[in-house]
Structure formats: C-alpha cells, structure tokens
Amino acid sequence: MPTAVVVLAAGQGTRMNSDLPKVLHSLAGAPLVAHAMRAADAIERERLVVVTGHGGVDVEAAVAEIDDTVLFARQEDQRGTAHAVRAAEAALEGFSGDVIVLYGDTPLIRPETLEAMLAARADGADVVVLGFQAADPTGYGRLVLDLDGSLIAIVEERDATPAEREISLCNSGVIAADCATLFELLGAVRNDNAKGEFYLTDVVSLARGRGLKAAVIACEEAETLGVNSRADLAAAEAAFQARARAEALETGITLSDPGSVWFSLDTVIGRDVEIGPSVVFGPGVTVESGAVIRAFCHLEGCHVSRGATVGPFARLRPGAELAEDTHIGNFVEIKNAVVDAGAKVNHLSYIGDAHVGAATNIGAGTITCNYDGVFKHHTEIGPRVFVGSNTALVAPVTVGADAMIGAGSIVTSDVPSGALAVARARQANKPGLGARLMERLRAAKAAKRAGEAS
C-alpha cells in the first residue's frame, strides 16, 4: 500500500536557548529533521510532507537542500499536534494509503520500527501507535490496553488515575493510520483541555468510539528520545554514535577504538575497512572496501577508493577524490582534488584544486598555491611525476607526464612532459662568513645581557 509521511517541524524549541529553529540543530553532521526524513525515505514513502512554523523559511530552505521533492505545509499558529497534522491535509490531497506521523526533533526512530507499524496496519489495525517501555514513565502519556492487547486510550499523566500511572508502556507520539481515516478523526478532535490545544493523542479514543481498532507497536526507549534541550541533543548524539559504531562492527568494519570514531548520518563505509582511533567522518564521506583510515584523520565530502591509505593526521576536505591504492600521509590536506591510482602524497603537504596523475609522488612540504585572494586556480600534475620536497606550485600551472621538479622549487610556469624543472636561486658559499657572523651575534647578545644586569 502507498505510504506518506508527515514530519512535524514547527516547534520553537525555547529550551534550546537558540536563535536557530530546533529541528535545524546538527546531529551526526545533519539537521535533526534530516534524520526523520531519512527514516521516511527508507520505507519507500510516496509523499513526504514537512510541517513548518517557527523559522519556517529557514527550515524549508534547509529541507529543500536535502530533498527538493518534499512538500511543505505551514502551521502559522502552534495549537497542538493534531492541529499541526491537519496543516498537511492539503499537501496530501488525492493521496490514498497509509500516513505515518513523525517528529523533526525525534531523530532515532529506525526504519524497521516504521515497517512494523505498517505491518500492523496491514494486519487490520485502523490506528497504530508507537509505544515504549519507559524506565521512568514520569511525564509521559500512558498507553492503556484492553485484555486482548488492543489500545483503548492514551492518557496524559495529569489525567491518569493512580492505577494508570503505574503503567510503564508510554506514548512516543508517532502514529500511523489510513489517510482518509486519520483526517476524519482529526476533524473531530476538540481543544477543550487546560492548554486549549488540539492533541493528536485524542485520535485513539475517537477511533475506539467509532468501533475502529487501535494497536501498539513497541520499540526500545532509546529510539523515542526527543530533543528539547542541549543536554538532549548531546544524549541523542551519543546514542546515534553508539548505534553507528555497533552497525559498523557488525558489517565487517574494523574499529580499533570504537568509542573515539565519529560518524555522520550519511557516512558510507565498505567492509574490511580499517579505521584507527580518533577518526571523524563529516558529512558526505564514502570509503570503499579495503581502505585504511589511520588515527586522527578528519574526512568530509570526499571519496576514498579501494586499497587507499589515509593518515595518520590527514584531512580530506570536500571534493577530495582518492583513486585505488593511493597513499595520503601524515599532516596532509587534500581539498577539491583528484588523486589518481597509486599516487602518493605522504608528508606535510597541501593539494587543493588539483589533479594528481597516477603513480605520481608528491614530496614532503609541497603545496599547490591555488588562491590569489579572489579566485581559485587549478594545478594539473600528470602521471609518474616526481615532485621534490618543499615545492610550491603556483596555479594555474601544468606539470606534464614523467616530469621531475627539484626540491625547493617555486614553479610558476608549465613543466613539459619528461622535463626536469629547477626553480630556485643558485647557492652561493662565502668562506668563513658564517662563523664570523655567529661570533658577532654572540658578542651582541652578551653585551645586551651585561647592560640589563647593570
């Protein structure tokens, strides 16, 4: 059956104490709302509607950058969760199928959990609620079940009887129902409560009153963690990283110190990759099978091919593309550059806005001088080139295949294929001058100290 997902992302998040809308705070290198969107994509949804409100323009711009097929609905006045879902009704016009309601500030819901909710719908439940067994249920709405395990009602704690407060099965807020049924029930929700708001939780009792069946799917409590404060954000980050590390180990990735490796939401790593301690994967990283990422590396927006070795202490910035069997060594930075198969950049070098040909060796301390203060310029280095240490390649410049560049050169003109380029001043030796200069400096230092002592 077709599925649509509505993500509620209208809240202000006052406890975040921030000018940034809550759902745009970063978790694992992506906005909170992106995590809910990713879960929605994993279940092959037909439509995705994001309901915005506070900071709506900024939220919509950020979401559109992630996925330009998303539909938007605006909740101008925040009048409760049912009111927020109803804002999505126009965006779902003509849709026939199931709707799942997610929250932009609840980033850890797994696609498998949503699949279980959809399976419960297929088994005959008209409304499916996601619940969890809370270690401490204080503050949560309780899920009251019938003897047959069906859901009778969601009771808020302030309205619960003493017996109901003993219930540890709690409401996550996530709900699934047939689209037409959901909006019919939402139309019957009233705001005759202390806050004067329209609550999505009222859908369950309304459904039961109409003879419809409501069911609960339970998940781990950690999945339902909502982010309402900076402390919650830190807890969610820790939970995400713990899950990502466990999944990495299970899929055949070696982590020598799992607790020190940090992943992003979209990190893709193949099997048999070896990752050393204190490695950070920023957004947009793909590492192919068999690569080695050594300790203290930072990667972002890059692609590392099979058999490549990176680090230790290397930085791969956006646009770095490493082909098979490349070697990027200690204190090397690569930015917006392609390094072809078998090339080596092993020590203390910066390669930016460049193409390094296959089997080329870049000596220690080499830099591509790519920026003139206004524009970036390209450096083209052919295959099998040997670049001596402490070379500065002043872009735009091309070094042809099989060329050599002498150490300490400043290359400002193209180097033909097969040529040797030496671009440095001729060395001049002045006999005895070094010793005389040193003696003079030492005498001056001694005189200065004597003057200070007096």
347 flagged as catalytic: yes
CA distances from 316 to 242, 281, 312, 339 (A): 24, 10, 12, 12
8 Å CB contact between 312 and 298: no
CA distances from 58 to 16, 25, 419 (A): 17, 12, 54
8 Å CB contact between 264 and 258: no
d(CA 191, CA 199): 7
d(CA 325, CA 335): 18
Instruction: Give the pair of three-digit tokens for residue 375.
Output: 């524009």
d(CA 397, CA 354): 10
404-405 sheet: strands from edge to edge: 254-255, 274-275, 292-293, 309-310, 327-330, 344-347, 361-362, 386-387, 404-405, 420-421
CA distances from 232 to 20, 222, 226, 408 (A): 16, 12, 7, 52
* 3-class state of residue 146 by DSSP: coil
Of residues 83, 298, 327, 347, which has the active-site annotation? 347
Residues involved in catalysis: 347
